[in-house]
Structure 1
Amino acid sequence: MTSRSERGITDSVQWAILLPVILLTVFGILQVGLWAHGTTVATNAAIAGAERGALADATVDDAKATANRVAAAGGLMGVDVHLTASPTAVSVTVRGTMPTFVDLGQTAVSHQATRPKERVTQP
């Protein structure tokens, strides 16, 4: 039979082992959530920039400004917008970093979106 003080030590040891595992799990879930949010923001910024750049009267600066505005509103830092336009399509790549608790190398997010260019045809 164990004494009362020995049970207290056993409980303390159990919590000393379990608490770091629980904290790592919680912070891991939060880290993955922040990364997923950053990826979604980069995706939406690239799509918004490509859709703006695909308009017939749009300029390259308009498309880049739109992508930058969406990325900044979502919390991306160090945003780099690269736009490639051809006569038939517009491609926008958005790169940035997402603020996280601990930088484990997954804070960089990037996404590319391509849209066909709007054309006005005469009947």
Structure 2
Amino acid sequence: MRRSGQRPVRADQRGLSSSTQLAVVFPLLMLLTLGIVQAGLWLHARNVAQRAATSAVDVARGSYGTAGEGEQRARDLAAAAGLTDVVVHVDRGPQRVTASVTAHATLVLDLGLGTVDETASAPRERVSNP
């Protein structure tokens, strides 16, 4: 009812405003959460690939180590940690041993960042007579 000289009573608009804000903010929060999870998976994959390359170098650089043993160690380590399509190359030269690991990480949204490539290098151990 309206009294003379007064404005009409309006319905409370806060409910509509609150739900509109939620409709805008909720997808942004979900996108942020997805981005954090995606970054964590990618960083974990890089760490695993680096550790696999380092492990391959550690095996192959020993006096009795071979490039094949290093490659196998790196493949096993990367596969156990969830990387797929693992390609390992170990170069055992006369002075240095270098290993490179290329693999594919399983991501929530693969935006072309799923491939990781890491390299490790160290001097080769040599046994000498005292």
Cα gap change, 1:31/1:77 in structure 2, threshold over 3 Å: closer, same or farther? same
Work out the CA distance in 1 between the residues paired with 2:82 and 2:73.
15
Distance 1:82 1:24 in 2: 37
Amino-acid identity (%): 34
* Aligned counterpart in structure 2 of residue 121 of structure 1, from 118, 125, 128: 128
More helix by share: 1
Q: Which residue type is aligned with residue 115 of structure 2?
A: A
> Partner residue of 1:86?
93
Give 1:80 shift.
0.4
- Structure 1 vs Structure 2 CA RMSD: 1.2
Unaligned runs of 5+ in 2: 1-8
TM-score, normalised with respect to structure 2: 0.89
> Taking structure 1 as the reference length, what is the TM-score of the superposition?
0.94
1:102 maps to a residue whose letter is: L
Corresponding residue pairs, total: 122
Bigger Rg, which one: 2
Matched, 1:67 2:66: no
- C-alpha separation between the residues in 2 aligned to 1:2 and 1:65? 75
Residue 26 of structure 1: aligned partner: 33
Task: Name structure 1 gaps, 5 residues minimum.
Answer: none
Stretch deviating more after TM superposition (41-50 or 57-66): 57-66
Q: Which runs of 4+ in 1 moved over 4 A?
A: none
